[in-house]
Amino acid sequence: MIVDDHADVRYLIRVIVEAGAEDVVVAGEADGAREALETIDDVDPDVVLLDATMPVVDGFDAAPMILERRPGQPILLCSALVDDQVRARAGRAGIAACVPKDELEEISRLAAELGGGEA
């Protein structure tokens, strides 16, 4: 499941993910935390990809909300910058892994790993 406030970014990620690994498909999309929480049980994703920077509720704050609803849900954070500070904040939020936006091709591999498959 892709959670990003920009439709064009969700589309780009969908194309990259579905082209990158045979076993990885996008189960659903949401434009923010609220929509993600409203639809996550219906789409039942193996992995949730969260944008780090979204209006109202960012990815760091959305992760605990998702985990409260679905304990153990693997979450992958997508951020423009991934450094030690971002990784530490992500870890505190329960996020399993981080990927920089300039390495979007890594999303398929990481999603497959987090979801229990292999890319």
Q: How far apart are CA 38 and CA 23, in angstroms?
A: 25
Could you give the number of structural domains in the chain?
1
DSSP-assigned letters across all residues of 51-77: ES--SSS-HHHHHHHHHHHSTT--EEE
117: confidence class by pLDDT, cuts 50, 70, 90: low
In a domain, 45, yes or no: yes
In a domain, 119, yes or no: no
Chain segment 42-97, per-residue pLDDT in tens: 999 999 999 999 999 999 999 999 999 999 999 999 998 999 999 999 999 999 99
In a domain, 28, yes or no: yes
In a domain, 42, yes or no: yes
- Considering Cα of 64, then 70, then 75, then 77, what sign does the dihedral take? negative
Q: How far apart are CA 64 and CA 70, in angstroms?
A: 9
User: The whole model's pTM is what?
Assistant: 0.92
CATH number at residue 30: 3.40.50.2300
